[in-house]
Amino acid sequence: MKSLEESWSKKLMEHFENQKTIPCRLNEKKYILSMFPYPSGRLHIGHMRVYTISDATARYYRLNGYRVIHPIGWDSFGLPAENAARNNGVDPREWTIQNIETMRRQLKATQIQFDWNREISTCEPEFYRWTQWIFCRLFENGLVRRTQAEVNWDPIDQTVLAAEQIDNEGRSWRSGAVAEKKKLSQWMIETPKYAKRLQEGLRKMSEQWGEVADIQANWIGKCDVFRFMLPVIGTENEFIDLRIRDIFEISNAEFLVLKRTHPMADKTQEQFPYKLPFEVLNGVTGRRIPAIVVDDDYLPDTEFFLNSRIGNFKTDKELAEKFRVQEPKLKRVLTKNDIQEMAAFGGYGGYETSRTLTDWVVSRQRAWGTPIPMIQTENGRRAAAKLEKLPVLGTDRGQKVDEKRFETAGTFDSDTLDTFFDSSWYYLRYLDPKNASKLADDVFLKEMPVDVYVGGIEHAAVHMFFARFVSYFLNDIGVIPTAEPFTDLIPQGIVRGRTFIEKSSGKYLSPDDVEYSDDQKSIRLKSNPTVEVESIYEKMSKSKNNGVDLVELLTTDGIDLTRLRILEAAAPRAPINWGETDLKGAKKLLDRIATMTSDVIKSRVASSEFKKDPNIDSQIKETYNFFVRNVGMCLEVLHLHNTALMRLQGFTNALKKIDPVYLANSEEGIRAVRSLIIMLQVFCPHVAAEMWTALEPDSGLILTQNWPEIDADADVEFLLMIDGVSGGRPSVGRQKIENLRLEDLWKRAELNEHSDILKMIKADGIVLKDHRFSARKGFHVTLVCNTEGDKDENRKKIGKILDRIQAEKRKSDKKKKAKKAAK
């Protein structure tokens, strides 16, 4: 296999590059995007997994005649480079560029078919000029503010952390240190202004996004409150972030009640209640109002959002009397529109938003990052650099502004942007990476949205939220044609390595330091057999001694077997325990296909010597249609690459049962064998190329072949999806359903294939709404709907209904078997 790869890799890659100039069969694009890597200097198995999944998906769409966009680049700003510079005395830029060169060589050695002509790097001025441009446009549209606020501080990395960068234990996502609270003046982006729209957008994406939509929806939180920012009087840029259910409360707010855990509370105070030594401005009424701090157990049944609420003269009567807050004799009567207009005019909010989502803190106290393009002018104002004068370079940070170049006097901001800002829009730059005058040309931006986004499930909340926010904003200002940046997702689970831990001390050990006991039941330390060792699977890292050297793995096993091992091990969404996987299944599959192909080649005879059998032809045709449809469904619709491989194995087993002479000499037989090898190339491009050339030496390279299509009289799947739950996927003749309208499809479902579940749902009182359907000719017709009321509760009910249907089916099957046995 290694010699096959050496023989074929150059030919296949040259053809891939050359075919970019040839028009595709379909005048339609597929934008397949994998999350770009941080250039740490070495590829690992996690990288190989995400890029193998995206490459298999891209190859599949190319074979189907699509014009595929499959780019790669580098998320190249970040703390590791800065730490390396500090610790080793190297320039962070040089360190980063050297790592990019190393990883580029490693990536090219995998033979993954990336569009290298689209390569980008976020640390290059040609890229971050447009990062700064987006920041300036946000500032121009009133979505950026300088705020004195309590922030999360990483004591190890010495920088601010966004709330999204802290785990459930209060630790930094990067350093692992417990985050501290600190008051600093920071640049923040008003993401809560978009929270409700982003939440509503997720409902439309839930069918394709599945659990990712749920993760992000939980992150955004319920959007049923109104936000008001009440400035602290006597300060330049501090405010209390107030969220209230009833918008009309603000028009008669005379005091605030804060919990002791509120950022504005005095952490040294132990006596409650107490009044803070400042007042805040109610921007709607123009009144100065006090803020009273209470202990956390004060009126536990009263609702607080972000640890604050408006004081109530009945509920909080004792507080009002104690601190002499007078209740106005006359109540102000304002309309909702009046309130929102006054709040918006003064920059005080007034919009409906999330209960929990706060502003995105984007300032970072680092050198190696996108410089924040803001200027502290000589008259004390803060202004954005002029768009046409960008970029502001790293050497400009904290320096006096060059008036000739920037046409403004003052000093540049010394902070840099959160690296999540870089990755919030990089997918747009891939479309026009060399453009010096625009973020990307309108012609190329029409290629949006991304059709399939492949990457770690851990990025579902933070990165994906910021990317959607920026995309919505750019759509609002007319830069891009679509609001949602990603249509479909393939979230990927992590690859875990086998980890050895000394039980008594918790110390991580190298695999070379341990051995199995004589009975193979326990693991112990080689140097001291009395020391017990525990073996578990954890996320790979250097500190845990559980990593796998990808370069060494590719050298040992080769590209195709490594791809097969990764894709076969688990569904993309599931984690992989690397030590539990091996090459046996992959080698067995390839051996069986190779043996069958060889037998078919040897079995070719003159047409006069061969006699067709309609029964065998019908059997092969049915097998062909079933497996071609199922492999395509797994790759395109279900995104289950491991199941697609199982279907290829099933196809191989079915064909192995047929006489190779018949396979070699019948039209149906040779079509099936050809199709098997064409589909195999998505997973094993080099082995498939060799098999194809042996089988069809005069038919050109395997890359030039078309993905097989099912016959006009074949079956397709008729799926029913309710709130993202599958209600069944029976097979139906494609001619019966592929051309039906929505109302006719639902009528058929109710009377035939899905009648049982739909009747039981109706009997359970579940009301279906938002009826629609999606279809892919030759694959499926999918009916989609949602339910009224509590989605989680309805999902549980539907799950129980499906269990009942399955139980009844098993009971029926058992009776049929018993009758058959009796006969």
pTM of the model: 0.92
Secondary structure (DSSP) of 585-637:
HHHHHHHHHHHHHHHHHHT---GGG----HHHHHHHHHHHHHHHHHHHIIIII
Structure tokens at 640: 């289950």
Secondary structure (DSSP) of 453-471:
EEEEGGGTTHHHHHHHHHH
229 and 239 Cβ atoms separated by less than 8 Å = yes
Distance between CA 630 and CA 145 in Å, rounded?
52
Distance between CA 433 and CA 757 in Å, rounded?
51
Query: In angstroms, what is the C-alpha Rg of the chain?
Result: 31
Enumerate the β-bridge partners of residue 364.
416
| pLDDT score for 275 | 97
Other Cβ atoms closer than 10 A to 67: 17
Q: Which residue has the tokens 């071609």?
A: 628
Distance between CA 452 and CA 456 in Å, rounded?
13
Distance between CA 135 and CA 26 in Å, rounded?
38
Q: What is the identity of the amino acid at 13? A: M
**Dihedral sign (CA 642, 644, 649, 650):** positive
Helix (H, G, I), strand (E, B) or coil at 197: helix
Q: Is a pLDDT exceeding 90 seen at residue 522? A: no
Distance between CA 578 and CA 565 in Å, rounded?
9
| pLDDT score for 86 | 78
Q: Is a pLDDT exceeding 80 seen at residue 542? A: no
Q: Where is 29: in which H helix or E strand?
A: strand 29-34
Q: Where is 515: in which H helix or E strand?
A: strand 514-516
The three state secondary structure string of 318-377 is: HHHHHCCCCCCCCCCCCCHHHHHHHHHHHCCEEEEECCCCCCEECEECCCCCCECCEEEE
CA-based nearest residue to 678, from 666, 687, 669, 668? 687
310 and 256 Cβ atoms separated by less than 8 Å = yes
CA-based nearest residue to 240, from 194, 289, 180, 274? 289
pLDDT, averaged across the chain: 93
- Comparing 133-137, 376-380, 606-610, 785-789, the range with the smallest average pLDDT is 606-610
Query: Using 50, 70 and 90 to split pLDDT, how confident is the model at 544?
Result: confident
233-287 confidence digits (pLDDT tens): 998 889 999 999 999 999 999 999 999 999 999 989 999 999 999 999 999 999 9
Angle 641-656/667-680 helices, nearest 10 degrees?
A: 150
474 and 513 Cβ atoms separated by less than 8 Å = no
| pLDDT score for 170 | 85
Alpha helices, DSSP H only, in 194-266?
Answer: 195-209, 211-220
Q: What is the identity of the amino acid at 515? A: E
Contacts of 574 (CB under 8 A, 6+ apart): 493
67-90 confidence digits (pLDDT tens): 999 999 999 998 888 888 778 888
Other Cβ atoms closer than 10 A to 712: 10
Longest Cα–Cα distance in the chain: 109
| pLDDT score for 421 | 97
Enumerate the β-bridge partners of residue 269.
none
- Give me the mean pLDDT over the 390-411 stretch: 94
Structure tokens at 465: 């939220």
CA-based nearest residue to 347, from 195, 184, 144? 144
- Give me the mean pLDDT over the 609-621 stretch: 94
Q: Going by DSSP bridges, is the β-strand pair 768-776/780-787 parallel, antiparallel, or unpaired?
A: antiparallel
Structure tokens at 716: 């397709």
Structure tokens at 349: 């909010």
Query: Using 50, 70 and 90 to split pLDDT, how confident is the model at 160?
Result: confident
Q: Going by DSSP bridges, is the β-strand pair 239-244/159-161 parallel, antiparallel, or unpaired?
A: unpaired
50-69 confidence digits (pLDDT tens): 999 999 999 999 999 999 99
Query: Using 50, 70 and 90 to split pLDDT, how confident is the model at 26?
Result: confident
Burial of 86 (0-12, 13-18, 19+ CB in 10 A): exposed
DSSP state of 541: -
Could you give the percent of the chain with pLDDT greater than 70? 99
| pLDDT score for 162 | 67
CA distance to 242, 243, 351, per residue, from 354 (Å): 11, 8, 10
Distance between CA 583 and CA 615 in Å, rounded?
37
Enumerate the β-bridge partners of residue 113.
none
Q: What is the identity of the amino acid at 662? A: Y
Cα-to-chain-centroid distance, residue 544: 26
| pLDDT score for 203 | 86
Distance between CA 666 and CA 669 in Å, rounded?
5
The three state secondary structure string of 683-721 is: CCHHHHHHHHHHHCCCCCCHHHCCCCCCCCCCEEEEEEE
Structure tokens at 777: 């000719």
613 and 662 Cβ atoms separated by less than 8 Å = yes
Q: Is a pLDDT exceeding 70 seen at residue 164? A: no
Secondary structure (DSSP) of 299-314:
STTS--BTTEEE--TT
- Give me the mean pLDDT over the 517-541 stretch: 87
